[in-house]
Amino acid sequence: MILVDIDNLSIQELKYLAKQEGIEDFESLSKDDLIDELNDIYDIVDGTIQLSDRLQNTSGKRYVNSLTDITNSHDFQDLPGVVKLSELYMETSIHFMLSDLSWGFAYWSISPLTKAKLLEEDDSYLQNVFLRVSSTNNETNETVYNDINVDKDDTCWSINLAELGCTYQISLCVQNKAGIIIALAQSLALSVPLPYWFKNCEELEKNPILFNSSFSSIITKQGEYKDTLVVKSVMTKLAHGDINGKH
């Protein structure tokens, strides 16, 4: 963010701002016209015309994100032999990462060779690509499977992790019309912890000193807490007195 004085900007800078603001004929406008057009746009915030601001502020100062597309002006001179990156790679694999305790991200690719083999065997395989999410409870060892149907052209997916305290693994699968399933690739298995305080938040309610020495550390002086699944859950329970059925 930058605070600029519009009246002092060059015509190139004004044109850049005009382009960012979607003024169609910006190339043909004069400097004064560009300033007028931009002021008209800046005076409308959230659909409301900020007349008082405009009248008070005649100096033309505005906050903008940037003034020129400076990054594009840097020609990253490619070194000899450099070629563009591939969109996808020639192999079949799936990779899985944790975004937080309730979401993961998986990306995959199916190699042309695998595709050719599947087509040769039964062309209906590639019509039914899906992700099999296995979640194994870390305490009971019980495993539950959930299938997510994806399009054959999809290459990545955000995966909801329904429960804490489980180990998740994603398999990239195909199924033919006869119901035969082939797992093409399997991701790393990742464990999502079941935090102690998530299971035992009644201890916090009963013991303010304990609360102070643990959870208060993630609350700001304005009373905002670090917004995560665990904190939200514990705070909600404490705020609503859900523990012991109190309100």
| Cβ nearer to other proteins, comparing 30 with 127 | 30
Binding residue (CB under 8 A) for other proteins from 12, 28, 48, 52: 12
Q: How far is the CB of 244 from other proteins (least distance, A)?
A: 20
Instruction: Give, as ranges, the residues between 141 and 180 that touch other proteins (CB under 8 A).
Output: 155-156
What SS3 string covers the chain? Answer: CEEEEHHHCCHHHHHHHHHHCCCCCHHHCCHHHHHHHHHHHHCEECCEECHHHHHHCCCCEEEECCCCCHHHHCCCCCCCCCCCCCCCCCCCEEEEEECCCCEEEEEEECCHHHHHHHHHHCCCHHHCEEEEEEEEECCCCCEEEEEEEECCCCCEEEEECCCCCEEEEEEEEEECCCCCEEEEEECCCEEECCCHHHHCCHHHHHCHHHHHHCHHHHECCCCCECCCHHHHHHHHHHHHCCHHHCC
By beta-carbon proximity to other proteins, the closer residue of 120 and 227 is 227
Q: Give the per-residue contact string, 105-134, with other proteins (x = CB under 8 A; - = no).
A: x-x-x-------------------------
- Residues numbered 36 to 55 that lie near other proteins (CB under 8 A) are 53
Query: In angstroms, what is the minimal distance from the CB of 85 to other proteins?
Result: 6
Q: In this complex, which beta carbon is closest to other proteins, that of residue 125 or of residue 165?
A: 165
Residue 138 vs 146, nearer CB to other proteins = 138
Among 191, 202, 232, 240, binds other proteins (CB under 8 A): 191
Report 66-105 residues binding other proteins (CB under 8 A): 67-74, 76-85, 88-89, 95, 97-101, 103, 105
Pick 181 or 218: Cβ nearer other proteins: 218
Q: Is 205 in contact with 221 (CB distance < 8 Å)? A: no
User: Closest separation between CB of residue 147 and other proteins, Å?
Assistant: 22
| Residue 160: CB minimum distance to other proteins, A | 13
Beta bridge partners, 173, equal: 130, 183
Q: Which of residues 203-232 bind other proteins (CB under 8 A)?
A: 209-210, 212-222, 226-228, 230
